[in-house]
Amino acid sequence: MRKPLFAANWKMNKTVSESVLLAKALKNEFLGLTNREVVLCPPFTSLSAVAAEIRIAPIALGAQNMHYEKEGAFTGEISPFMLQELGVKYVIVGHSERRQHFNEGNELINKKIKSAAAFGLHPIFCVGETEEERKKKKTKAIIGKQVKEGLKGVSEFEMRKVNIAYEPVWAIGTGKNATPEQAEEVHEFIRNLVKRSYNDEIADNLRILYGGSVNPENVEGFMIKSAVDGVLVGGASLDPKKFVKIVKYDY
């Protein structure tokens, strides 16, 4: 059974004090929630303070990015070794905003996935097509390439730590979510690819999240699809009321 994962991507929002307030508003909301997992991904500057705030809550900590090296002359970068010490469990890798604005390609993303797993972190590996690519019916070709290149040489052991997030670029921050059926089709495609590259057991245990304009009104439509194992939430995760409603959509 795959335990649904609800991931909050705060992106470049919230100072340390604002992050603490948001974490405070959330920390008692998920007590007793054993059938789903919640992870908060604040900016790097807030990781430590949020870690302290959620220490006894059933909430995991995630980072939004990382470098693949353990340490060294990489000015401005943060390593998996540093994240590990803060109690970070998850790390978002290959988000489309990093691909778009920071030129991250599949090869770099692949290095980050392997490194994250080697440091015991669980990557949330993001893939997704642009509007143009969908219009040209290239969705599966693009996603297939991102998945294959992103997972190149990733061992079975490492793959057990990986989560994949399908986030169509045209749905991120636009209020224009994919339909649950569109998500389902891509999720099934990804799971089959993983089945072919690895095995049934790894594919069956792999969590595939949907991301892109998820909100309290549309979350249930995605979650009732057996191919959808959780959601990656940006904008709506900055509002504690909305994020709680998303996580507890059927309560």
Active site residue 95: yes
- Helix H segments across 29-165? 47-53, 80-85, 96-101, 106-118, 131-135, 139-150, 156-159
Residue 106's CB is within 10 A of a number of other CB atoms, namely 18
Which residue among 53, 104, 129, 167 is the active-site one? 167
CA–CA separation, 99 vs 93, rounded Å? 10
Active site residue 122: no
- The stretch near ligand PGA (CB under 6 A) out of 50-58, 108-116, 151-159, 229-237 is 229-237
CA–CA separation, 115 vs 104, rounded Å? 16
- The stretch near ligand PGA (CB under 6 A) out of 20-28, 134-142, 211-219, 240-248 is 211-219
Residue from 43, 235, 244, 249 touching ligand PGA (CB under 6 A): that is: 235
Residue of 219, 237, 244, 215 whose CA lies nearest to 229 = 219
CA–CA separation, 230 vs 249, rounded Å? 12
Least CB distance to ligand PGA at residue 17 (A) = 23
Residue from 43, 211, 219, 229 touching ligand PGA (CB under 6 A): that is: 211
Residue from 43, 80, 180, 212 touching ligand PGA (CB under 6 A): that is: 212
Which residue among 95, 122, 184, 187 is the active-site one? 95
Phi, psi (deg, nearest 5) at residue 67 = -90, 160
CA–CA separation, 249 vs 103, rounded Å? 36
Residue 137's CB is within 10 A of a number of other CB atoms, namely 8
Written as one letter, the residue type at 116 is A
Question: Which CB, 203 or 210, lies closer to ligand PGA?
Answer: 210
64 interacts with ligand PGA by CB under 6 A: no
- The stretch near ligand PGA (CB under 6 A) out of 127-135, 138-146, 181-189, 227-235 is 227-235
CA–CA separation, 75 vs 55, rounded Å? 30
Per-position x/- string for 166-205, each x denoting binding to ligand PGA as judged by CB under 6 A, each - no binding? -x----xx--------------------------------
Query: Which residue's beta carbon is nearest to the bound ligand PGA?
Result: 234
- The stretch near ligand PGA (CB under 6 A) out of 54-62, 83-91, 106-114, 165-173 is 165-173
Residue 94's CB is within 10 A of a number of other CB atoms, namely 26
94 interacts with ligand PGA by CB under 6 A: no
Residues that bind ligand PGA (CB under 6 A): 9, 167, 172-173, 211-214, 232-236
Which are the catalytic amino acids?
A: 95, 167
